[in-house]
């Protein structure tokens, strides 16, 4: 049994089946999550016979890093993790002035089919387990610990739709919140969804104060359906209703992500429509000039168009920020590195 990804309570229950005392779970779990142990042999505060017994019944299996890219400015590190069955997913460390943020994936691939995204090019392979999701952060935490640093925030914005893997995502976040892993506060977590309405409603009732970010990318039903097929299942009007409910229930501001695509959704008319759509909401807009994906034939607007779009929103009292671009020289956008390796047959 692979015990990586289990909580202390789950591990204690597994140990009990082999007549191993509950207090051993606390010792093992700290070795596993806070000291990077992948073998029982290194757990020198456990007797050798116990270590041998543990190795007979259990293993500590973590995904391996098969590709590692550093940005030229040193601010971004991108890892491609490979799991036991050969599936892969990307994780990105972003060093900001306010702390270290980790962008994690929740699925191997994605089935959402968004026109601007590389993650969906090869479709969805499978959901990641809670342990595979948590391992991405714990691996980065191990790396940062050698520098005397830590993970400060998590953005669940990598490959996959997290609300289609709801149980594993929430289990991973709860595990990462525990003091015996990295002790991350829930207010340091932002989850991004393409608009899975039942998942948003369920998250509002979960009782954990994480921030919600919704991939909007268009101000009308017609345009959003054109670039985001999920809109045909969960229309824009329903997504906005669920977002308003989330903000009211949690008292947390919702962020709407809006990828700016030249000659598609970046005009004056679209900016005015967006402002009207969000008027009066506890919300802000995060503008993201598209990171071009060669297979998609979509391009970013020029700087003047970006500034104009932002100004129109601000003039209409909509808080609008421009996302700081990081890691473009190492293909840090979701799915790009994974696709490159898949197409190379690796």
* Residue 334 falls in the annotated catalytic set: yes
Q: Tell me the C-alpha distance between 336 and 195, whole Å.
A: 22
Residue 71 in domain: yes
Same domain (yes/no): 175, 222 = yes
Closest Cα to residue 203, out of 167, 236, 154?
Answer: 167
At 73 the pLDDT is 86
End-to-end CA distance of the chain: 28
CATH code at 36? 1.10.150.530
Q: Which domain holds residue 38?
A: 8-57
Domain total of the chain: 2
Q: Which two tokens stand for residue 13?
A: 């229950």
Consult the annotation and say whether 274 binds a ligand: no
SS3 for 10? helix
Same domain (yes/no): 21, 151 = no
Catalytic residue among 61, 82, 90, 314: 90
CATH code at 176? 3.20.20.70
Consult the annotation and say whether 217 binds a ligand: yes
Reported as a pLDDT band with limits 50, 70 and 90, residue 323 is confident
Same domain (yes/no): 46, 68 = no
Consult the annotation and say whether 231 binds a ligand: no
Residue 312 in domain: yes
SS3 for 243? helix
153-156 and 124-127: which strand pairing? unpaired
Asked whether 147 and 93 are in contact (CB, 8 A), the reply is no
Residue 273 in domain: yes
Q: Give residue-wise pLDDT tens across range 234-244.
A: 999 999 999 99
Residue 3 in domain: no
At 335 the pLDDT is 52
Same domain (yes/no): 148, 35 = no
Residue 198 in domain: yes
Residue 109 has pLDDT above 70, yes or no: yes
In angstroms and rounded to an integer, the radius of gyration of the C-alpha atoms of the chain is 21
At 346 the pLDDT is 47
Same domain (yes/no): 123, 270 = yes
Same domain (yes/no): 297, 261 = yes
Q: Give residue-wise pLDDT tens across range 131-170.
A: 999 999 999 999 999 999 999 999 999 999 999 999 999 9
CB neighbour class for 303 (10 Å; exposed up to 12, middle 13-18, buried from 19): exposed
Residue 107 in domain: yes
Q: Tell me the C-alpha distance between 28 and 24, whole Å.
A: 6
* Residue 103 falls in the annotated catalytic set: no
Q: Give residue-wise pLDDT tens across range 209-234.
A: 999 999 999 999 999 999 999 999 99
Q: Give residue-wise pLDDT tens across range 184-199.
A: 999 999 999 999 999 9
Same domain (yes/no): 247, 206 = yes
Q: Which long-range contacts (CB under 8 A, 24 or more apart) does 35-39 make?
A: 36/142, 38/62
């Amino acid at each position: 049994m692979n015990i990586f990804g289990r909580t202390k309570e789950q591990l204690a229950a597994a140990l009990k089946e082999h007549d191993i005392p509950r207090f051993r779970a606390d010792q093992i779990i700290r070795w596993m999550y806070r000291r990077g142990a992948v073998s029982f042999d290194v757990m020198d505060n456990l007797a050798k016979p116990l270590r041998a017994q543990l190795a007979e019944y259990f293993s500590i299996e973590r995904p391996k890093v098969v590709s590692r890219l550093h940005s030229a400015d040193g601010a971004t590190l991108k890892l491609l993790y490979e799991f036991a069955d050969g599936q892969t997913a990307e994780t990105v460390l972003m060093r900001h002035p306010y702390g270290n943020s980790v962008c994690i994936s929740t699925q191997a691939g994605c089935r959402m089919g968004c026109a601007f995204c590389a993650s969906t090019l090869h479709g969805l392979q499978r959901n990641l387990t809670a342990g595979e999701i948590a391992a991405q952060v714990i691996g980065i935490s191990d790396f940062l610990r050698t520098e005397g640093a830590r993970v400060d925030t998590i953005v669940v914005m990598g490959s996959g739709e997290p609300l289609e893997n709801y149980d594993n995502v929430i289990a991973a976040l709860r595990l990462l919140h525990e003091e015996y892993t990295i002790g991350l506060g829930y207010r340091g977590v932002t989850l991004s969804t393409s608009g899975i309405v039942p998942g948003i409603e369920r998250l509002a009732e979960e009782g954990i104060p994480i921030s919600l970010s919704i991939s909007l990318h268009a101000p009308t039903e017609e345009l959003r359906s054109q670039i985001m097929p999920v809109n045909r299942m969960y229309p824009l009007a329903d997504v906005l209703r669920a977002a308003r409910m989330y903000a009211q229930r949690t008292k947390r501001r919702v962020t709407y992500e809006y990828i700016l695509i030249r000659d598609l959704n970046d005009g004056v008319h679209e900016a005015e429509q967006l402002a009207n759509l969000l008027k009066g909401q506890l919300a802000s807009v995060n503008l993201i000039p598209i990171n071009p994906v060669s297979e998609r034939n979509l391009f970013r607007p020029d700087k003047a168009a970006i500034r104009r779009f932002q100004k129109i929103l601000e003039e209409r009292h909509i808080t609008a920020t421009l996302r700081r671009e990081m890691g473009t020289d190492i293909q840090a956008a979701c799915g790009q590195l994974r696709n490159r390796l898949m197409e190379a047959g690796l």
